[in-house]
Amino acid sequence: MKKAFVLGHPINHSKSPLIHNYWINKYQLNATYEALDYDEQHLTEFLEILRDGTFVGGNVTLPHKIEIAKLCDELSPDAKLIGATNTLYFQNSAQKHAVLIGANTDMFGFLKNLDRESVGWDENLQTAIVLGAGGASRAIIAALIQRSCKNIVLLNRTLGKAKNLRSEFSSLQITSKLQADILENFAKYAPGADILVNTTSIGMNNTHFDNLPLNKLPSKCLVTDIVYTPLITPLLRDAEELGLNVVGGLGMLLHQAVPGFEKWFGVRPQVDDSLTNLIVSSLN
């Protein structure tokens, strides 16, 4: 039996067991997927368990995405670019000294969700506004760079954090131009935006941005949120009321799970309506 996991602290909130066990049942696999709660002090202990062959791999969620990356043998190109890992698997697993790979599938999930829900969103992509400069923003910035976005504006409550993130990506010799500014200057950049992405936690529990003039955005602008609880965040609701196209964050959660499942179990799963409905019902 092949066993996989999701690792975090705390972990009870994770939807990963629902997603992966749905696929295990759908494809009738001899496999398990479980949630594991380890704090930072016990990560090394967990890695010993992982390397002894108990698991074929797993997912990593908060607060361990960066620390686990430091403990892997190798990182995938996406994980290197983003600076964090959310998926672990073994290369040459049949050999005695298997190589532990740390990957990041958040960029894949973000792009797959937009490609599915807003076809052609990246055609002639000129300017993106990214709200937030925390860990979640890294995958979004990397995704926009991959789709050749010419100008990416990072807006954060504190300017220093946005500048630091800009410097990190600018040092990678990317073709996209990165700008950093404070959130209060949103109106300055809004008229030229093709896409607005919220990477902050604002939206959870129906929290909302103060003084964010969405009416300054052009009618062509796509507004998307990586928050998926609620499914329609206040940001998305306000954008809809202005007639803007919006995409919620649930699809990113579902699609980012696909590559890991395929690595561990050898089956590429499909994100279907039954899975979506299952996760939606679990949010209520």
108-251 matches 2-105+257-283 in CATH topology: yes
Domain boundaries, the chain: 2-105+257-283, 108-251
Task: State the helix-helix crossing angle for 16-26 and 258-265, rounded to 10 degrees.
Answer: 50
Please state the φ and ψ torsions of residue 144, each to the nearest 5 degrees.
-65, -35
- For 194-249, how does the pLDDT look when each residue is reduced to its tens digit (9 = 90+)? 999 999 999 998 999 998 999 999 999 999 999 999 999 999 999 999 999 999 99
70 is catalytic: no
Closest among 257, 235, 241 to 87, alpha carbons compared: 257
The CATH number given to 108-251 is 3.40.50.720
* CA distances to 5, 66, 87 from 79, in Å: 19, 10, 9
- Residue in the block written with tokens 């209520």: 284
* CA distances to 65, 88, 150, 226 from 125, in Å: 29, 32, 7, 19
pTM, two decimal places: 0.95
Please pick, among 2, 3, 15, 65, the residue that the annotation labels catalytic: 65
In the CATH hierarchy, which fold is given to the domain comprising 2-105+257-283? Rossmann fold (3.40.50)
- For 142-184, how does the pLDDT look when each residue is reduced to its tens digit (9 = 90+)? 999 999 999 999 999 999 999 999 999 988 878 899 999 999 9
